[in-house]
C-alpha cells in the first residue's frame, strides 16, 4: 500500500506538475485525504478487524477510525462461537439491559459516535474476541502513513484515488473539463474492480481545503 509520500509523488506525476506553483504539498495531501474518504464512502468503508479482550471492566473494543453503518460480517470469540451484529437501537428495544448483562457474548453492538463496538452479554472473566467492521479511515498526516489504514484489500483503489485527487486539484484551478476527464477515469477504474455504478455520484464540485 502506498504511503502518503508515495501517493503525493504519484499524484504529481499524474498531474505532470512537480513544482508547487499551482498546488502546495499541503493541498495535494488534502486532495489525497478527500479522495480516500470519498472512495471509502462509495465502497461502504475500509474493512478492519479489531481484536482484544473484553470483560466487565472493559466491555468494548476501541476502533481506530470512524465507524460506518454497514457491517458485512460480524466477529468471533477466539476458538469459539461466531458473533452477530445488532444495531444499538434494536438492542435497546429487545434487550434493554444489554449494557449490564453478563454471560457468554452473542452480540456485537456498534457505537459509531464512540468509535467502539460493545459485546453483549459481557463475560465476567477476560475473553479474547475479534470483530469485523467498516471504517472511514483517518486522514493521513505523516509521510509514512499508509492509504486506507494499510488494508491490502483496498489496494485496487489506489489508481482511482489518484484520479479523484487530481480532479479535485484541477477544480481548484477551475480546469473543469480536465477535472471531469480525470474523474471519469476514476469511475471507470472503480467499475472495473466491481463497484456498483449506482453508488458512484457525479464529480463533487467542492475543492480540497488548503492544508
pLDDT digits (tens, 9 = 90+) for 151-174: 899 999 999 999 999 999 998 877
Give the pTM.
0.79
| 70/112 same-domain check | yes
What are the cell numbers at 76? Answer: 468471533
* 184 assigned to some structural domain: yes
| 54/19 same-domain check | no
Confidence at residue 75, expressed as pLDDT on a 0 to 100 scale: 80
* Local structure of 131: helix, strand or coil: strand
In angstroms, how far is CA 95 from the centroid of its own chain? 30
175 phi, psi to nearest 5 deg: -90, 70
* 70 assigned to some structural domain: yes
Confidence at residue 174, expressed as pLDDT on a 0 to 100 scale: 73
Q: For cell 483496498, what's the residue?
A: 154
Q: Which of 97, 112, 135 is the last residue of a domain?
A: 135
Q: Which of 85, 109, 135 is the last residue of a domain?
A: 135
Confidence of residue 147 (pLDDT cuts 50, 70, 90): very high
Confidence at residue 208, expressed as pLDDT on a 0 to 100 scale: 41
| 23/66 same-domain check | no
| 50/128 same-domain check | yes
| 8/74 same-domain check | no
Structural domain count, the chain: 2
Report whether pLDDT(73) > 60: yes
| 40/115 same-domain check | no
Domain limits for position 158: 4-44+145-199
Report whether pLDDT(27) > 70: yes
* pLDDT, averaged across the chain: 88
Report whether pLDDT(211) > 60: no
| 24/88 same-domain check | no
Query: How many angstroms separate the CA atoms of 135 and 119, rounded?
Result: 18
Q: Left if phi > 0, otherwise alpha if psi is -120 to 50, otherwise beta: which for 16?
A: left
Confidence of residue 139 (pLDDT cuts 50, 70, 90): very high
Amino acid at each position: 500500500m502506498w504511503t502518503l509520500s508515495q501517493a503525493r509523488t504519484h499524484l504529481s506525476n499524474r498531474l505532470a506538475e512537480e513544482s508547487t506553483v499551482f498546488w502546495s504539498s499541503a493541498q495535494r495531501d488534502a486532495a489525497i485525504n478527500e479522495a480516500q474518504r470519498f472512495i471509502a464512502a462509495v465502497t461502504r468503508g475500509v474493512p478492519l478487524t479489531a481484536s482484544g479482550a473484553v470483560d466487565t471492566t472493559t466491555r468494548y473494543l476501541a476502533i481506530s477510525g470512524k465507524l460506518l453503518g454497514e457491517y458485512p460480517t460480524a466477529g468471533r470469540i477466539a476458538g469459539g462461537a461466531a458473533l452477530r451484529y445488532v444495531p444499538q437501537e434494536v438492542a435497546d428495544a429487545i434487550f434493554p439491559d444489554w449494557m449490564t448483562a453478563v454471560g457468554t457474548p452473542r452480540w456485537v453492538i456498534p457505537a459509531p459516535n464512540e468509535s467502539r463496538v460493545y459485546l453483549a452479554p459481557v463475560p465476567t472473566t477476560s475473553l479474547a474476541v475479534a470483530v469485523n467492521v467498516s471504517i472511514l479511515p483517518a486522514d493521513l498526516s505523516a509521510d509514512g502513513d499508509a492509504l486506507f489504514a494499510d488494508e491490502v484489500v483496498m489496494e485496487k483503489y489506489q489508481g482511482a484515488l489518484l484520479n479523484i485527487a487530481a480532479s479535485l486539484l484541477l477544480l481548484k484551478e477551475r480546469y473543469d473539463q480536465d477535472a471531469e476527464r480525470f474523474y471519469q477515469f476514476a469511475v471507470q477504474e472503480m467499475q472495473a474492480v466491481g463497484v456498483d455504478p449506482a453508488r458512484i455520484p457525479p464529480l463533487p464540485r467542492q475543492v480540497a481545503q488548503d492544508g
